[in-house]
């Protein structure tokens, strides 16, 4: 996969235009770009461990040039946020914004805390993907606009969702009673015991892979 970061600057700007590429561990690069009008250093970070950044200057027809970085996706860090951690700490980043637009903020945490917080965030997404009336989980959740495709429920996601309910209870994110109620509702729906939800099995007893999370209706030919 090839994703490009394009930075455009006018050719007639006198102030030096700085591109700083610093190598850090795991062949990951931080890219700093100085805004020629405000002299603000923007720091970018690559997404993915195996990123090999390369750059080239390409003339444009509108009397400007652009730097094209290939080999990985770069996202801008918000001004004043951490770009590195030391002393056994790790970076946790999340989407945010500053006066220059969309960016990522970051904070240094211990590895154990970072893992638990990321796992808890993962579980919150699974909660969003669960149909509260039937206990069926959908294929995806749009975290940008909150759109949830309730017609894209599925057996695969529902199985993983049930497993995550057990993990959440074991880690203290929900009580045993809440976990049991949520799991039992899902199992009742799959067994055809939730009013208004009727899922059809094939002649061998298999559930359909994809079906409407509200009704159980299915018109395809793929079975889990």
Distance in Å from the first CA to the final CA of the chain:
30
Evaluate the CA torsion angle 166, 168, 174, 175 in order and state its sign.
positive
- Using one digit for the tens of pLDDT, what is the confidence trace for 101-146? 888 888 899 999 998 888 998 899 999 999 999 999 999 888 777 8
* List of residues 6+ apart from 157 with CB closer than 8 A: 129, 137, 138, 139
Task: Output the pTM of the full model.
Answer: 0.63
pLDDT tens-digit readout, 156-211: 999 999 999 999 999 999 999 999 999 999 999 999 999 999 988 888 888 888 99
């Amino acid at each position: 996969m090839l994703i490009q970061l394009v930075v455009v600057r006018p050719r007639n700007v006198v102030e030096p235009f700085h591109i700083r590429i610093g190598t850090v561990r795991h062949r990951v690069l931080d890219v700093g770009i100085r805004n020629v009008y405000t002299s603000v250093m923007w720091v970018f970070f690559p997404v993915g461990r195996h990123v090999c950044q390369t750059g080239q200057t390409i003339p444009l027809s509108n009397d400007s040039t652009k730097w094209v970085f290939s080999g990985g996706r770069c996202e801008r860090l918000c001004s004043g946020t951490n770009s590195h951690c030391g002393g056994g700490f790790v970076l946790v980043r999340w989407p945010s914004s500053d006066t220059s637009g969309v960016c990522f903020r970051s904070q240094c945490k211990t590895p154990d805390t970072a893992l638990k917080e990321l796992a808890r965030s993962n579980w919150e997404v699974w909660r969003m993907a669960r149909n509260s009336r039937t206990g069926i989980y959908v294929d995806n959740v749009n975290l940008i606009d909150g759109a949830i495709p309730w017609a894209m429920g599925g057996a695969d996601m529902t199985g993983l969702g049930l497993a995550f309910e057990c993990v959440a209870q074991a880690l203290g994110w929900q009580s045993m009673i809440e976990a049991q109620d949520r799991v039992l509702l899902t199992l009742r729906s799959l067994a055809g015991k939730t009013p208004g939800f009727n899922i059809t099995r094939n002649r061998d007893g298999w559930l359909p892979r994809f079906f409407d999370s509200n009704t159980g209706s299915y018109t395809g030919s793929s079975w889990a």
